[in-house]
Structure 1
């Protein structure tokens, strides 16, 4: 092109040419017009250069392609010509810009689609290729028998397993930090070919290999081996745990700690469970595991019950219910049956059955009775004259009814009862003291041949007496007794004489006060010449064991004494 260069206004951008009319207001010289017409007029609608008035439109029908167009413009005045050229340039630039933009847009999209398709095809081919690879190789994150075989073949796995068989050695960890080993060569260990590894490979889907990137596939292939069974059994018998002396395990069990029953933990002994040990050794060899911990694999004989066993906890709870009871016997020295004592009477057997030892309870009650029963024990008495004498024997005093009390005591224990009470008695006495006859009683001094009736600690009446002849058959028994019956006008009948078949005597008395059921008692003896002294030693005067009294003192005693009043007779 030739012609004058069009000057752009200040701040004008080339992209503004189509819309900024001032750009075209400068005069267009001849050279510029000719250059423009040479290139463009042929392409445009001739009407575009004409005014709207149809009468002024030139006739293009006979115009030449280039020269006539020039003549048209030449015939125009410069101002009109410049305006038309401006409009033409503006219209052409808009059309050209639209055309260029469309070409660029269409070409760019086409190139993007071509590139995307090529990339997708390449990725698909790569995925298929990798998938085919994993049809004959193990997927990522694949572990077999603890070893990573990702991307490896079955041949690689079998080669590894064969190598393990060749150098295999099992270490057996025992109690007390002892250990032994069993080498593969000791038992002629040999690898046996199988399809186990091939089967493991077939389990995987090669086309799902991307999923394997995010998860671990661990498996244990049970490899077949052969070995000398007799040699293995011999090696097991040589293990220190088997060959040494063994101790049995102890089950967990309830144990009393002074306050309550708690679970004493089990104790694992050293006795070996040979069935478990043989099974575990064979399993470890088959899996080529290097170490067998006998404790962890429970190769020792385990106790029947552990600290976690429900049976042990139930037994513990039941025994704690027993020891809730507390029974206090209100004696001169209180006797308490509490948790400490009860704990000695209950136990749990090997099956955690709680047993209440009733025989132990009865034995305790026997001891309890021996301690607090006073019948027949030796007591000390001081006579009204100041004489101190010991007296033992008799039928009077405290006597615990052990059978009745056994039932009451066991019921209280089993119900967890807390109570204070006196035990059940066969018979009672006036008070719990060394002189349990109290302060109202009759006393007979067999040596002094004298008796007193003490009421509330004071002598109410007294009398000389004659007691039994001091020979075994007639002697008045010493001891503490009580009045068993009181009867007026009683006939006393002696034992039958074998020679005659008749009673030794039949003696009527006015006042009878029985002391023993064998026939000893207070009574009047009107036939006696006198009382007291040593008359009782005379076989013709001494009684058959009764306490003979003068009529008046016998009557006085008869009128004041009551059934149950203690009677103490001593030398």
Structure 2
């Protein structure tokens, strides 16, 4: 009984082995047969320019590519409708890929056809077109897209704007405008690589900056620091503040979130500053010795703001992000002109017929004078000591037209019209109302002995207030 069971088991095992070997032989034979077939054909799932040529000979593959690329329509879609349908043959497409196809096939390993059933392979062959026609098509479609974008909602990057109390980030906004450059690029690629269409609606413009951009957040914080900046000018002895609200309105950012200033607004502010404070047109407020605050008209010691230069310097100063007080860059015919006179100057009070010389705030000299008579009054104005000389003869015309020549020991002109300070040995007294009856031709007559004291201590370029 045991012997019978063992024989049965052995016979069953033998049959299983025979069946297995038979199946294996069939599979190997079939795989070998297919390998021989693929010796002159492309392996399964071989794609060339997105066209399946698996199982085809080189000649068959070349004809299929020719048919599908040359004659098959290529569709360009816009607004979910067909904008244009073309054939590649209309653009001088290169039809014969025979040499390239032979090269791809020769690189195949026919016995690997089974593996290719799962992995496949893709190849891209360069196409030759009439580039002039292709470029014209791309340009025309680009122009159409630009026109279409005019009626679409634009995509906006996240940006920084002034809120109620501080700068805030305004989130990006996705629109439906088309990324023209992207569509043009894909149109060319698809035309060359075997795809059959391109749809512009697949390429909406995307925001470059989003509300979560770390650099944008840093710039927002920096802008808020700028908004708190204390900025001012010292001009004509006054503090002129740049209002924080105005400064905030100048700050802006570009597409890269870089901080800059609105140059038109900065220029408008500097222009207004010049209009209000320049001394070529405006009078200078002066705290006089006897009459308190007086307005001294413009004279030759005058200035105006150099607007382009000041706009550049002010912008650079602001972008440092630090509190500042500055003096504007000015232009003037006077040497070393200052927007704030300071504590060294000559003061000539025509009403009181008196003259003072202050140096660093201290009186160094003072005297009564005789100014111009009513018919030739001394012109008021903010001037400066133009030059100094000795032993001069002053010449001019009297009221009746006759000439005069007056020798003086000390001559110090203070403007460009011939008005100056000089000694006058022909005057017997000074001050009071003498100018009404014995006044000069416009100069400041000074006692000779006092003039000898003033001449050596008064420096050329010293501002002279005449009022």
TM range (shorter): 0.5 to 0.7
Structure with the higher fraction of residues in strand conformation: 2
Report deviation, 1:104: 3.5
Alpha-carbon distance in 2 for matches of 1:408, 1:523? 46
User: Is 1:333 aligned to 2:240, yes or no?
Assistant: yes
SS in 1 for 2:282: strand
Q: Counterpart of 2:322?
A: 418
Per the alignment, residue 506 of structure 1 pairs with: 407
Q: Structure 2 matches for 1:367-406, cutoff 5 A?
A: 368=273, 371-374=276-279, 377-378=282-283, 391-394=296-299
After TM superposition, the score normalised by the length of structure 2 is 0.53
Q: Select 1:478's aligned residue among 380, 390, 398.
A: 380
The 1:174–1:567 alpha-carbon spacing in structure 2 relative to 1, beyond 3 Å, is same
Shift of 1:531: 6.6
Match of 2:405, SS?
A: coil
Q: Distance in 2 between matches of 1:163 and 1:271?
A: 30
Structure 1 gap ranges (5+): 1-99, 349-353
Decide whether the 8 Å contact of 2:230 with 2:323 is kept in 1. yes
Task: For residue 84 of structure 2, give the secondary structure of its aligned residue in structure 1.
Answer: strand
> For residues 556-567 of structure 1, what are the structure 2 equivalents within 5 Å?
none
Whole-Å separation in 1 of the counterparts to 2:91 and 2:287: 96
1:545 to 431, 436, 442: 442
Distance across 2 between alignment mates of 1:181 and 1:450: 97
> Which residue does the alignment assign to 1:117?
17
8 Å Cα contact 2:62/2:98 also seen in 1: no
Q: 1:323 to 1:475 in 2, by over 3 A?
A: farther
Larger RCO, structure (CA 8 Å, separation 6 or more): 2
Q: SS of the residue aligned with 1:182? A: strand
5 Å-filtered alignment, 1:221-236, equals: 233=133
Displacement, 1:479? 1.8
Q: 2 CA distance for matches of 1:567 and 1:161?
A: 95
> In 2, are the aligned partners of 1:442 and 1:453 still within 8 Å (CA)?
yes
Distance 2:89 2:315 in 1: 69
SS at match of 2:297: strand
What is the root-mean-square deviation of aligned Cα atoms in Å?
7.3
Aligned pairs (5 A) from 1:218-297: 218-220=121-123, 233=133, 241=141, 281=191, 283=192, 287=194, 289-293=195-199
Distance in structure 2 (CA, Å) of the matches to 1:567 and 1:162: 95
1:443 to 349, 364, 387: 349
**CA drift at 1:330:** 3.8
Tell whether the 8 Å contact from 2:74 to 2:87 is kept in structure 1 after alignment.
yes
Using the TM superposition, give the Cα deviation of residue 183 of structure 1 relative to its aligned residue in structure 2, in angstroms.
4.7
**Gaps in structure 2 of 5+ consecutive residues:** 150-155, 329-335, 398-402
Structure 1 residues 548 and 370: alpha-carbon distance in aligned structure 2, compared to 1, 3 A threshold:
same
Q: Secondary structure of the residue that 2:283 maps to in structure 1?
A: strand
Q: Which residue of 2 aligns with 1:169?
A: 73
Name the SS for the 1:418 alignment partner.
coil
Alpha-carbon separation, structure 2, partners of 1:412 and 1:388: 33
**CA gap 1:203/1:476 in 2 versus in 1, 3 angstroms:** closer
State how far apart, in whole Å, the 2-side matches of 1:519 and 1:149 are.
104
Aligned partners of 1:237, 1:548: CA distance in 2, in Å? Answer: 89
Answer whether contact 1:327 1:417 (CA < 8 A) is retained: no
